[in-house]
């Protein structure tokens, strides 16, 4: 059985030993006796250490090698432009233009050929007494692919929207036009930029407020779709219908 005093003494000894060990690790790192490679290799992002003056690659971690797709011996000692940011050759944002690179989209050449989009950050530092650039980056191929797919979907939707011969437009809660198709633009003799942001009754009916039988007023009041026959002096007799648009919380935001 340990007395309280002895227990406190034992705990103090353990803390002292732990503190001494941390000092030893720190001193070994400072003296270059402990390799930092295992630490770099544990990081999932690609890291490349580049000589600031010559742009030679000094070292890189496992994640960077996997993204490059070549053995380390073919990378270390080579100029960074051969593998990363090839279009920046001779006009490095950091060393030539004096800029900062923080989460900027760049290109990495996998196996020296395939272009891989990356998100890159660069910091100036020292490495074994040399002024260096520490570049960290992640592969954003999947994100770019999704962006391109989304862009294609939006383009297809816009083409379909503009191909419909009926007059179609989207309103916010304040009767302002958010989106309008080409059919209505042609009927009014205006382009989309001239209509977006304007209140529908101003550009459609030439009035300062919505008509008393406006179907959108009914939708705002009931939260349901509405249909109304409207005699417009400019566009003629129109069968106007609208459907409510709700946000993720179920609030009506437009039609």
Average pLDDT for residues 212-239, to the nearest whole number?
85
Alpha helices per DSSP H over 31-69: 37-41, 62-68
Instruction: Say if CB 170 and CB 184 are below 8 A apart.
Output: no
E strand residue ranges, the chain:
46-51, 57-60, 104-110, 114-127, 130-139, 169-171, 177-180, 226-232, 236-242, 245-246, 252-254
Q: Write out the DSSP string of 145-199.
A: HHHHHHHHHHHHHHHHHHH-SS--EEEBTTSBEEEE-HHHHHHHT--HHHHTTSB
pLDDT in tens, 184-218: 899 888 988 999 999 988 888 888 888 888 888 88
d(CA 78, CA 243): 62
Alpha helices per DSSP H over 81-140: none
**pLDDT at residue 29 greater than cutoff 50:** no
Domains of the chain: 37-140 (3.30.450.20), 164-254 (3.30.450.20)
| Residue 75 burial (CB count, 10 A) | 18
pLDDT at 117: 92
pLDDT in tens, 78-135: 988 888 877 667 777 777 677 776 678 888 888 868 889 999 888 888 888 888 888 9
């Amino acid at each position: 059985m340990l007395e309280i005093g002895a227990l406190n003494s034992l705990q103090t000894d353990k803390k002292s030993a732990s503190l001494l060990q941390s000092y030893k690790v720190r001193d070994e790192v400072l003296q270059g006796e402990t390799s930092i490679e295992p630490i770099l290799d544990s990081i999932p992002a690609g890291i490349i250490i580049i000589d600031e003056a010559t742009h030679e690659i000094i070292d890189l971690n496992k994640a960077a090698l996997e993204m490059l797709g070549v053995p380390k011996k073919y990378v270390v000692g080579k100029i960074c432009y051969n593998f990363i940011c090839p279009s920046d050759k001779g006009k490095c944002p950091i060393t030539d233009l004096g800029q900062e690179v923080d989460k900027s989209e760049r290109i990495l050449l996998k196996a020296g050929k395939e272009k891989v989009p990356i998100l890159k950050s660069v910091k100036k530092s020292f490495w074994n007494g040399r002024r260096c650039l520490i570049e960290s980056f992640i592969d954003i191929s999947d994100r770019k692919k999704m962006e391109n797919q989304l862009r294609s979907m939006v383009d297809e939707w816009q083409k379909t929207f503009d191909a419909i011969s009926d007059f179609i437009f989207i309103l916010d809660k304040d009767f302002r036009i958010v989106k309008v198709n080409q059919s209505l633009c042609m009927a009014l003799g205006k382009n989309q930029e001239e209509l977006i942001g304007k209140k529908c009754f101003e550009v459609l009916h030439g009035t300062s407020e919505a008509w008393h039988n406006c179907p959108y007023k009914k939708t705002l009041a009931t939260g349901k779709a509405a249909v109304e026959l409207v005699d417009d002096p400019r566009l003629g007799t129109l069968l106007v219908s609208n459907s409510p648009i709700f946000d993720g919380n179920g609030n009506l935001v437009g039609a």
